[in-house]
Amino acid sequence: MTRSPDCKPWCDNHLTKFENSCNTMIVIYDDGRQAEAPPTPGTMAALFRAGLPKAISWVAFVASQDEEDEKPIMDLQFFEAGDGAEQISNLHVDLDGLRTLHSSLADILREFS
Ligand SMILES: [Zn+2]
């Protein structure tokens, strides 16, 4: 964890190597699965898997802001299972988008609780 005196309150990873920026990454959901070895090429399992989208296992909220950014740049990043998994997809969201997402999920949870 690195911080500078001018850090944003949410910064827990201040980077100075290429740019002077505040950063954070928070895992907001993890289904707990471990990475699986890919199926052997040519097998039925490989054929079946080939047509399917990659399965997301964990989701992280990521924010960064440097001196030129008026507001933090925020994303929800989606990953396959495993700690070293590569990012599969990215949803860029601003604060209003996050509030809409939060509100929609709250409405759904009320219906399903
Ligand atoms: Zn910072």
Whole-number Å distance, alpha carbon 99 to ligand 1 midpoint, is: 24
What's the 103 CA to ligand 1 centre distance in angstroms? 29
pTM over 0.75: yes
Q: State how far the Cα of 35 lies from the Cα of 81, in Å rounded to an integer.
A: 5
Radius of gyration of the chain (CA): 18
- pLDDT above 70 covers a percentage of the chain that reads 99
pLDDT per position as a tens digit, 97-108 = 999 999 999 999
Distance 92 CA to ligand 1 centre (A): 20
> pLDDT grade, residue 1 (50/70/90)?
low
Secondary-structure breakdown of the chain: helix, strand, coil percentages, each rounded to the nearest 5:
20, 30, 45
Token pair in block for residue 25: 């990454």
* Two tokens, residue 106: 């709250």
